Amino acid sequence: MRLLAAALTTCLLAGCASTKIETVWKAPDAPPRKIQKFVVLGVAGSPSGRIAYEQTLTQHLKEAGLPAVPGNDLVAWDEHPDRDEVVRRIKEKQIDGALVRRIVRADVKTEYTPVFVGGGVVAVGFYDYWYAPAAVATISTEDTEYAVESVLFDIDNARPYWMARSNTSRTSPTKFANDIGGPWPRRSRSPASSGPRARPTGPKERR
């Protein structure tokens, strides 16, 4: 578990300008047994967004030598199975962990910018032009920043053992997955050396 947590921390926390890490937490005690393989589950505003996130992040994690499986391999986009059925499918695939991502907060920032609305030929002297208040209006722009948590759970006891909270302005699940999963594998010649390898027989975008 220590190696898996360290590898996840290194892989998922590289980030970029649009995504920054706020905090990382690891449970003081290890799970009863080592997590050998985990499923990547995303919560998004649409089924296609969820699948895009799961597939993109899983690909990055696999390139980094981590034993990840995309959640859409177990739960199709149009399915809504209950908890017991999801757990049954996970255990049937001999998966013992789940890396779940969800949005926990959305902060909307509004910026107001003054705009001069005068026009035409100046009809006053320099003093009045300088001293008199200009006719202005304002335009406003909104930017939303999301707080996103990625939590690694043990399937058997349903306890969390690792968590990272990040801030992102991304609205695209794919680009967010690239932010947190892409930089580290590209920097390392042998990314799998920093974490456990998977067992051969086991284990509409806007921004």
pLDDT in tens, 94-109: 999 999 988 888 787 7
Report the candidate in 167, 177, 146 with the shortest Cα–Cα distance to residue 11: 177
The answer on 133 and 123 residing in a single domain is yes
Does residue 13 belong to any structural domain of this protein? yes
Q: Domain containing 178 — which CATH number?
A: 3.30.160
The answer on 102 and 114 residing in a single domain is no
Does residue 205 belong to any structural domain of this protein? no
pLDDT in tens, 161-190: 998 888 888 888 888 888 877 654 343 332
**pLDDT score, position 127:** 54
Beta carbons within 10 angstroms of residue 12's beta carbon: 27
The answer on 126 and 41 residing in a single domain is no
The answer on 128 and 31 residing in a single domain is no
Does residue 155 belong to any structural domain of this protein? yes
Does residue 81 belong to any structural domain of this protein? yes
Does residue 203 belong to any structural domain of this protein? no
Q: Are 205 and 174 in contact (CB under 8 A)?
A: yes
The answer on 116 and 104 residing in a single domain is no
Does residue 206 belong to any structural domain of this protein? no
Beta carbons within 10 angstroms of residue 155's beta carbon: 18
Does residue 202 belong to any structural domain of this protein? no
The answer on 179 and 84 residing in a single domain is yes
The answer on 96 and 28 residing in a single domain is yes
Report the interhelical angle of 173-181 vs 2-12 (nearest 10°): 120
pLDDT in tens, 30-88: 888 888 999 999 887 788 889 999 999 999 999 888 899 999 999 998 888 888 999 99
pTM here? Answer: 0.68
- The count of domains in the chain is 2
The answer on 122 and 73 residing in a single domain is no
Q: Cα dist. 171→18, 144, 168, 176, 193 in Å?
A: 10, 9, 8, 8, 32
- Cβ within 8 Å of residue 188, ≥6 positions away: 64, 194
The answer on 150 and 65 residing in a single domain is yes
The answer on 27 and 58 residing in a single domain is yes
Q: Are 72 and 50 in contact (CB under 8 A)?
A: yes
Does residue 207 belong to any structural domain of this protein? no
The answer on 131 and 34 residing in a single domain is no
The answer on 124 and 53 residing in a single domain is no
The three-state secondary structure class of 63 is helix
Which domain does 132 fall in, by range?
A: 110-140
